[in-house]
Amino acid sequence: MKINPKEALQQLSTQDGPFLDLFAHGTLSVEIYKPEKVDLQQPHSRDEVYVVISGSGEFLNDGVRTTFSPGDFLFVPAGVEHRFENFTDDFATWVLFYGPEGGENNP
């Protein structure tokens, strides 16, 4: 299975909204996400990983602000407030949700 970012972004451009579901297997689901100007996300019920495709900006994760750029990996536990801010117009990211509702517990 291969998903090309250029093709995924082309598919997304034909949709109404900033994200598109692309793949699911077991508890894993993969989306592409490209917000316009403002990221309106709310906390999610499952653990989440972002892998930045393009663009740069700031990522607010549970009150901690960091910068991001292409190739960066960002992890958000289930239920945690997070959002992308001050991002460039070309910002796009893979989104991977996995695990059970409520997130995985660390021992």
What are the structural domains of the chain? Answer: 5-98 (2.60.120.10)
- Are 12 and 32 in contact by the 8 Å Cβ rule? The answer is yes
pLDDT in tens, 31-84: 999 999 999 999 999 999 999 999 999 999 999 999 999 999 999 999 999 999
- Does residue 90 have a pLDDT over 60? yes
- Are 28 and 96 in contact by the 8 Å Cβ rule? The answer is yes
Residue that has been written with the tokens 């034909």 in this structure: 14
| 74 Cβ contact list (under 8 Å, min separation 6) | 49, 50, 51, 52, 59, 61, 68
